[in-house]
Amino acid sequence: MTHPMRTNTSRRSFLGAVSGLAASAIVPSRALPLATSLAGMAAMATQSSHAATTGGYKALVCLYLSGGSDTHNWVVPVDASGYAEYAKARGELAWGAQQLQSITAANQGSGRSFGMPLELAPLRDLYEAGQAAIVANVGPLVRPITRAEYTAGIGIPAKLFSHNDQASTWQSLATEGAPSGWGGRMGDVLMSANANPVFTAVSASGNAVFLAGNQVSQYQVGQEGPVVVNAMNGSTLFGSSSASMALKRAYSASATDRIQQEYARVMQRSQAANSILQTALAGVNVPAIPSTAIAQVNAGPTTLDKLSLARQLRMVMQMIAANQALGMRRQVFMVQMGGFDTHNGQMRDQPTQMAQVAQSIGYFMSALTALGLQNNVTLFTASDFGRTLLSNGDGSDHGWGSHHFVVGGAVKGRQIAGQFPNTALGTANDIGSGRLLPSLGVTQMASSLASWMGLSSSEQQIVLPNLANFEAGPTLF
């Protein structure tokens, strides 16, 4: 396949960036401390992006709900006929009307109104405060298609309904095996604005194609922060004063074996970034996660401060709070929570999951506000796919379009962007079993987010190769 990124512009910037890297970062000299290899990375910042150099600090955070979240149950019609349709279509998967709290949504047609389950209250509060918007029925599209085209097999995205492929498509616009994601490609454009380009794309939840760039490597931080290698930071090891130096030397030396070489290169990055990050993080003071009680499925209650998602978000917030110390202007982050593949036990599991997500986002936004950074950060949710409206008896199966949230002080909140379909079987958006044909492409949602990050339309074409197939994205800011 011809890679869509290989435009003249991107090739030029790629070559420029590589020549900066080759000087010192790939093969650090044995004589130099590992930390100086970052200077090579900083050399990549020679090329200026007009986009990123205007305006203050901005960070985009992807909150990935792994497994395919059933968002039919996150945003629910509450007007009499809308709710009746929903209850009929979902059967045992429908929330009772008393479990739903109404929200303000003016632009979805007269007589229509919507609500969110009580467990999502912190997210609903942000929505009502104008700091969160809902993006209705968004999903991967190559170009906009009609149900007739879908039925005729025209213009359908590859490998729909497949976890690994659709997770990859949401994150990269291509099926599994994609070399880069749109978060990483945004980083390619933006990294030159950062004094420490190594922290341009940061994952607090392991490796994700979303943050893989063509020049940017995602930096993966532990949810408790950078990991110190004890043996490289002490003087003697088991009474030997040479072992620590020998180990550092082994990780700095170039190797003929390619796997060994690459493994060592990751360690070099780790060590170089650690010293910089630890210094920067020491200077920030981020509000602690409250010990709010949180229900858990199949386990006793826990508290928010013990929840992985909240801790990942706190780590991200620490890095955001350190943006000036690190000389960062544009960053893309990823956090993740699993367990959303609700083929069975959906009504048992969803309340807990929604509470965990909403409480974590609530903490994130209130802490950012305390730091005065709420307008500099936008968080959005994403997931493998939406699910079937139709119940399988105990849960729902793999679908396509779904409803997502965009949260932040800069967001034009208290609105449902896009067209919220009728929550019923047999509608113009139903391709079978209540799988929604998306009315907005992921590309369009990504384009709106990229605009906020400052990417020009030509830069967006690089990041989102099929952008020209779509109308403008939703007005989210």
Partner 1 sequence: MFRYKNPDISAAGDQLIDTLPMKAYPGMHSPSEKRLFAGKPQAVTMPAGASAQADLNTALDALFNHPNVGPFISRQLIQHLVASHPSPGYIARVAAVFNNNGKGVRGDLGAVARAILLDAEAANPPAGSVGKLREPVARVSHWMRSLAATSASGQYAINSDLEPLGQRPYYAGSVFGYFRPGYVPPNTTFSAEGITVPPMQIVNEATTAQWVNLAQRMASTGVGSTGTQFDVVASLQPLADMVAAGRLDALIDHLNLLLYAGRMSTSLRQDLMEAMLNVGGTDAEAHLNRARVAVFLALASPEYMVQR
Q: What is the 3-state secondary structure (H, E, C) of 417-440?
A: ECCCCCCCCCCCCECCCCCECCCE
Q: Which CB sits closer to partner 1, 301 or 393?
A: 393
CA 190 to chain CA centroid, nearest Å: 17
Q: How far is 8 from 6, CA to CA, in rounded Å?
A: 7
Query: Out of 269, 403, 404, 435, which residue is the one contacting partner 1 (CB under 8 A)?
Result: 269
Q: What number of residues does the chain have?
A: 477
Q: Pick the closer one to partner 1 by CB: 454 or 465.
A: 465
**HSE toward the beta carbon, residue 240, CA cutoff 13 A:** 10
3-state secondary structure of 312: helix
- In this complex, which beta carbon is closest to partner 1, that of residue 32 or of residue 250? 250
Contact flag: residue 163 with partner 1 (CB under 8 A) = yes
Rounded distance between C-alpha atoms, residue 392 and residue 432, angstroms:
13
User: Minimum CB separation from partner 1 for residue 308, in Å?
Assistant: 11
Please identify, using beta-carbon distances, which residue of 104 and 164 lies nearer to partner 1: 164
335 is a site residue for partner 1 (CB under 8 A): no
Q: Measured between alpha carbons, how far is 121 from 362 in angstroms, rounded to an integer?
A: 9
Contacts to partner 1 from residues 51-80, by CB under 8 A: 66
- The yes or no reply on residue 154 touching partner 1 (CB under 8 A) is no
The one among 263, 278, 282, 285 contacting partner 1 by CB under 8 A: 263
Nearer to partner 1, 66 or 378 (CB): 66
Show contacts with partner 1 in window 230-249 (CB under 8 A): 230-232, 237-243, 246-247, 249
E-assigned strand segments in 140-200 = none
Taking the complex as a whole, how short is the minimal distance between the CB of residue 168 and partner 1, in angstroms?
10
Please name the amino acid found at residue 408.
G
Residue recorded with tokens 């709070």 = 321
Considering the rule CB under 8 A, would residue 176 count as an interface residue with partner 1? yes
Question: Mask: binding to partner 1, 193-232, rule CB under 8 A, as x and -?
Answer: -------------xx-x--xxxxxx-xxxx---xxxxxxx
Q: In the structure, how many helices (H) and strands (E) does the chain have?
A: 14, 14
| 19, 81, 104, 164: residue in contact with partner 1 (rule CB under 8 A) | 164
The smaller minimum CB distance to partner 1, of residues 35 and 255, is found at 255
Interface mask (CB under 8 A) for partner 1, residues 391-420, using x and -?
Answer: -xxxx-------------------------
The C-alpha angle 440, 214, 279, rounded to 5 degrees, equals: 105
Query: Quick one: angle between helices 243-252 and 258-282, nearest 10?
Result: 110
Report the candidate in 439, 473, 470 with the shortest Cα–Cα distance to residue 455. Answer: 473
Buried b (16+ CB within 10 A) or exposed e, 148-181: eebeeeeebbeebbbbebbbbbbbbbbbeebebb
153/301 with CB nearer partner 1: 153
The nearer residue to partner 1, 73 or 448, going by C-beta atoms, is 73
Residue ranges that bind partner 1, judged by CB under 8 A: 66, 163-164, 176-177, 179-180, 184, 206-207, 209, 212-217, 219-222, 226-232, 237-243, 246-247, 249-251, 253, 255, 257-267, 269-271, 273-274, 338, 341, 343-345, 392-395
